[in-house]
Structure 1
Amino acid sequence: MSQTVLHGHDVESVTDKKVKNMVPWNERFSYSLSDFACNLSFQMVGTYLMIFYTDTFGISAAAVGTLFLVARIVDAFDGPFWGIMIDHTHTKWGKSRPYWLWFSIPFAVFCVLVFTTPNLSLTGKLIWAYITYIGVDVLYSAVNIPITSILPSLTSSSQERVTLSTIRQFMGTAGAAIITGITLTMVSFFGGSTTSSKGWFIWALIVGIIVVIIFAIVFKNTNERVQTKSSRESIPIKESLKALKKNWPWAIIIFINFIYWMGMQTRSQVTVYFFKYNMHNAGLASFVLSLQFVSLIAVVLTPLTSKLIGKRNTMLIGMVMAVAGQLLLSLGATHLSVSIIIIATIIGYLGTGYVSGLIAVMLADAVDYGEWKNGVRAEGIVTSFSSFSAKLGMGIGGVITGWILSVTGYVANKTQSVTALHGIEMNYIWVPLIGFALSGIALMFYHVDSIEKKMQGDLAVKHAKENAEN
C-alpha cells in the first residue's frame, strides 16, 4: 500500500515503513541545530539576565523577581496559543516547520533588545524590561514549540524519536555550554568589563545574527513525513482538547517539566552570584557553567540506556544523580571547596543530561497516547503545554530567586552579609534539589513504557486504514 508523505516542497510515495521511520543524518543534524540555536539565545537570557538587570541596568533584585513572575505568568499562556495555531496551520512546508521561517528574525531582535540599556528613569527601565522580556518569551515559544511538535511528524518510530531527541539534546547542551561558558568573557572583551552595557549589547547582537542563520538551515533541511488524517485537517479547539482527556502520561510529564525547570532556573541564574560573592571568584562561574559539556556523555548514552531499561527508568536515574549532585554541592559550599563543587556539578550535569532529552520524547509519546486513548491527534496543543509548564516553572523560579535575594539583604556590587550569602546558597542548592526530588517522585507513576508496543501497533493499523480511505 502506498502512503503520501510530505518532503519540503515535494510529495512522494513511500511503501517501505522502515524507510519512512528512518530520518537521514543530514536531517537529524539540522533538526538538532534548532535546539542549539534556541539555547544559544535563551540560555543567555535565563542565565545572565538577572545579574544584567541588577548589576548593569540598575533594577533591584526584588523588582526583577516580580518582573520574572508577572512576565512568565502572562507569557506562559502563549504556549497553548501557539499550539492551537500549529494545529490550524496547513502550508506546503507542513504545520510546525514554517514557524522557524516566520519568527526567527523577530525572536532574534528581541534577544538583542532585552540586553539593551536605554537611558530611562527607574519606571521607564521597568517598562522597557517588561516589554522586551515578555516579547522575547512569547517569540521564543513561536520558534521552540515547533521543535517538539514536529517530532511526531518526523517519524512514527519510538526509538528513532529517542535518537532524534538525543542528537537534538546533544547540540542543545553544547549550545548552552558554549554560551554560558564564554558570555562573560565576550561581554568583557567588547565592553571592558562584565557589567558593560556596550559589551552586553554587542554580544547579544552577534548571537542574534547567528541564531537567524541557524534557523534558516533548520527550516531548509527538515521534513514532516508522517501524515495522518488528523494532521491533514484543522482541528477545532474543543476537539483538540479531547487529546488531553485522561492523558496521564501527558499530565505527569507536564508536572515534571514545571518543577524541574523551576529548580534549574534558580540554580542557573544565581551561579554567577554564588561564585562572585560566596566563593569570591566570579571567573570560576564561567568554568563551572561550561561543565555542562559533561552532560553530553549522558545524552549520548540515553538511546542505549532507554532501550535497555526504558525511558522512565533512564530519566529516574538522571533525577537521582541530580539530587546527589546537589547534596554534594552543599558540602562543597559549606567548606568552600572548589574541588568538591566541581565534582558535584559534574554529577549533577550527568543526571540532567539523561533528563532533558527525554522530556520531548515522552511528550511525543503523549501525543500518541492521546490519539490511542481518545481518537484525537493534536501535536500542537499536547506539546505546547511543555512551553507553558517550563515557562511557569522558570517564572516561579525567577521570583523565588529575586525574593530570597531581597529578603536576605542582597545589595548589588557590595560585600554581602552572612544572611545574603545564605540566600544565594539556598537558591543555588536547596530549591533545585526540591525540584529534582519531586520530579523523581512523579516519575514513579509513569507507566507508558509497558504499553508502548501495543499502542504503536494499534496506531499503525489505524493510520494505515485512514490513509487507504484518502
Structure 2
Amino acid sequence: MNKPWQTKWPERISYGLSDAADNLVFQMMTTYLLFFYTDVYGLSASAAAILFIVARLADVVESLIIGLMIDRTHSKWGKSRPFFLWYALPYVIFAILTFVTPPFGDTGKLIWAYVTYLGLGFFYTAVNLPITSILPTMTQNESEMTLLGVIRQFGGSSVQIIVAVFTLPLVAFFGHGNQQQGFLLTIALFGLISLVLILNTFIHVRERFTNPEKSHQSWSAVSKMLRQNKPWLVISTVILLYWLTTAIKNQTTIYYFKYIQHSEKLVPLANGFTFAALIGVVLIIKGADIWGKKATMQRGILTAGSGQLVLTLGVMTNQLGIIFAGILLNAVGGGLIIGLVSIMIADTIRYGMALGIQAEGILASTDDFGVNVGLGLGGLVTAGLFHLSGYVANHQQNVATQHTIILNYAWIPLTLYIVMFVVLWFYNEKELQATIKGA
C-alpha cells in the first residue's frame, strides 16, 4: 500500500518555483549566450566554442564536487536544503556579471568571459543540483513524488517559455537599440526574481527522510553502488543526449531566423510555440500511472522526434507554418521527457538506498552532469561548425554557413532523438521497482 502524502501545497509550489528560478538564468545561457558572445559581446565563433567546451569540462567536475558536498553536509537544515541559502546570491551576481561588456581589449574581454562564465557554471550547479537531490527526501509516497516532479517541471517549463519569448523584446525595451545594455538589464531583472524564488524554496521545503546508517558512506562503497545502479547509468545517458539535442537546436534558432529567414523578430514568435511543453508536463501524471515512467518517456521521445521531423520538412520546403507546427509538437514531447527526468533520477536514488547506500548528492549530480556535458558539446558543435564554415557575425552568410545552420537546426537534433530512444530501451523499470519495494 502506498504511503500517505507528506507535503502541502505551499511546499509543493515553492519546490516548483526553485526550477523556475534557475531557468530564468539558465535559459538565457542556453538560448542567447552564444549569440550574445558572437554578435553583441564581440568574441569570434572559435573563441566562443573553446570557452563553451572549457566551461562544460569544468562543470562536469563541479557537478561531482557539489554532489559530494551534499552527501557530506551536516546541518540543522539537512543535506540539500542549505545550498539554496548559501549559493543563491553568488549565483545571481555571476549571472549579471556574465552579461557585462567591460571596456577592455580583446584579451581582457576574453578573460572576463572565462571568469564570469566559469563562475556562473559553478554556482548554477550549487543551486540546481539540490532540487533533484532533495526530492526523494521530501516524501516516500511514489505518487506524491511524481506530482512534485511535475510541479517542478511545470514551473521550469513556464519560465523557459517566458525567457524564450520575452528576452529579445525586453532587450529591445531596455536597450533602446543598445543590445549590450539591453541584455545586461534583462539578466539583472531575471536575476533578482531568481534570487527571491530560490530563497523562498529554502524557507518552505523540508527534508524528512534520511537514513543515518545509509548516509555519509565511504567513496568506495558509493562507487560500488554506482556501478550496480544500471538504471542510473541509462537515464544519465538519456539526459546527456537530451541536453545535447536541446543545446544545438536552441542555440541555432536565432541564427536560423536571422540569417536564413532574414527576420530576427520571428524568434519570439517561434519560441512562443514551446508553450506546448506544459501540455507534455501535465500529461506525465496520467501517463506514468497508465504506462509507467519509462514507457511515458519513450512516448515523449517519439513525439519530440516526430515534431523535429515536421520542423525539418518545414525547413527544407521553407514553410514557416510547418516549422511552427513542428516546434509545437516537439515541445509537447520535450515536456514529457524533461518532466520525467528528476522523477526517474529520484527512483535511482531510492534504488541506491535499496542497495544499502543513500547518496542522493552524487546520484542527482548526473542531472547537472548531463546538462553540462550536453550543453558543452552542443556549444562546441554549434560554434565549431560555424567557425569551420566561415561564419561572420552580422553579415550575409556564405552557402556553407547557411547549410551548417540548417544542419544544426534540423538534421542533427532529429538524429539524436533516434539515439535517445534506443538508449532508453535498456532502462529496466520492472527490476528497479521490484528492488525498491523489496528493500
TM-score, normalised on structure 2? 0.97
Q: 2:150 touches 2:339 (CA, 8 Å); kept in 1? A: yes
Shift of 1:453: 4.6
Q: 1:84 touches 1:237 (CA, 8 Å); kept in 2? A: no
Unaligned runs of 5+ in 1: 1-15, 460-470
- Specify which of 435, 438, 447 is matched with residue 428 of structure 2: 447
Q: Match for residue 292 of structure 2?
A: 310
Give the secondary-structure state (helix, strand or coil) at the position aligned to 1:84: helix
Q: 1:245 touches 1:370 (CA, 8 Å); kept in 2? A: no
Shift of 1:323: 1.3
2:293 & 2:216 partners in 1: Cα distance?
32
2:277 & 2:88 partners in 1: Cα distance?
27
CA displacement, residues 267-304 of structure 1 (integer Å, 9 cap, x when unaligned): 11111111111111111111111222111011111011
- Specify which of 103, 124, 128 is matched with residue 112 of structure 2: 128
Shift of 1:253: 0.6
145-154 or 316-325, which moves further after superposition?
Answer: 316-325
Q: Match for residue 343 of structure 1?
A: 325
Cα 1:437–1:17 change in 2 (3 A) is: closer
Q: 2:349 touches 2:358 (CA, 8 Å); kept in 1? A: yes
Alignment partner of 1:430 is 2:411:
yes
Q: 2:249 touches 2:409 (CA, 8 Å); kept in 1? A: yes
1:456 & 1:396 partners in 2: Cα distance?
34
2:385 & 2:432 partners in 1: Cα distance?
43
1:74 & 1:295 partners in 2: Cα distance?
30
- Specify which of 187, 198, 219 is matched with residue 237 of structure 1: 219
- Specify which of 181, 189, 214 is matched with residue 197 of structure 2: 214
Structure 1 letter corresponding to 2:291: I
2:373 & 2:434 partners in 1: Cα distance?
34
Q: 1:243 touches 1:377 (CA, 8 Å); kept in 2? A: no
CA displacement, residues 123-178 of structure 1 (integer Å, 9 cap, x when unaligned): 11111111111111111000000000001101122222111111110110001100
Alignment partner of 1:57 is 2:41:
yes
Q: 1:323 touches 1:433 (CA, 8 Å); kept in 2? A: yes
1:203 & 1:424 partners in 2: Cα distance?
27
Q: Match for residue 95 of structure 2?
A: 111
CA displacement, residues 66-124 of structure 1 (integer Å, 9 cap, x when unaligned): 11011111221111110111011121111100100000000000110110000111111
Q: Match for residue 277 of structure 2?
A: 295
Structure 1 letter corresponding to 2:314: G
Q: Match for residue 458 of structure 1?
A: 438
Alignment partner of 1:389 is 2:370:
yes
TM-score, normalised on structure 1? 0.91
Shift of 1:241: 2.3
Q: 2:231 touches 2:432 (CA, 8 Å); kept in 1? A: no
1:356 & 1:182 partners in 2: Cα distance?
22
Alignment partner of 1:263 is 2:245:
yes
Q: 1:230 touches 1:378 (CA, 8 Å); kept in 2? A: no
Structure 1 letter corresponding to 2:71: D
Q: 1:263 touches 1:434 (CA, 8 Å); kept in 2? A: no
Q: 1:323 touches 1:348 (CA, 8 Å); kept in 2? A: yes
- Specify which of 328, 331, 350 is matched with residue 368 of structure 1: 350
2:134 & 2:359 partners in 1: Cα distance?
11
Percent identity (aligned): 39
Structure 1 letter corresponding to 2:173: F
Structure with bigger gyration radius? 1
CA displacement, residues 409-452 of structure 1 (integer Å, 9 cap, x when unaligned): 2111111122211111111112222222111101111112x235
Q: Match for residue 464 of structure 1?
A: none
Give matches, 1:18-57, under 5 Å. 18-19=3-4, 21-57=5-41
Give the secondary-structure state (helix, strand or coil) at the position aligned to 1:352: helix
1:149 & 1:243 partners in 2: Cα distance?
16
2:361 & 2:224 partners in 1: Cα distance?
13
Give the secondary-structure state (helix, strand or coil) at the position aligned to 2:228: coil
Q: Match for residue 227 of structure 1?
A: 210
Alignment partner of 1:186 is 2:182:
no
Stretches (4+) displaced over 2 A: 16-19, 233-243, 451-459
Structure 2 letter corresponding to 1:409: G
Unaligned runs of 5+ in 2: none
Structure 2 letter corresponding to 1:414: H
Shift of 1:385: 2.1
- Specify which of 391, 407, 417 is matched with residue 398 of structure 2: 417
- Number of residue-to-residue matches in the alignment: 439
Structure 1 letter corresponding to 2:166: I
Cα 1:283–1:257 change in 2 (3 A) is: same
Give the secondary-structure state (helix, strand or coil) at the position aligned to 2:140: coil
Q: 1:116 touches 1:201 (CA, 8 Å); kept in 2? A: yes
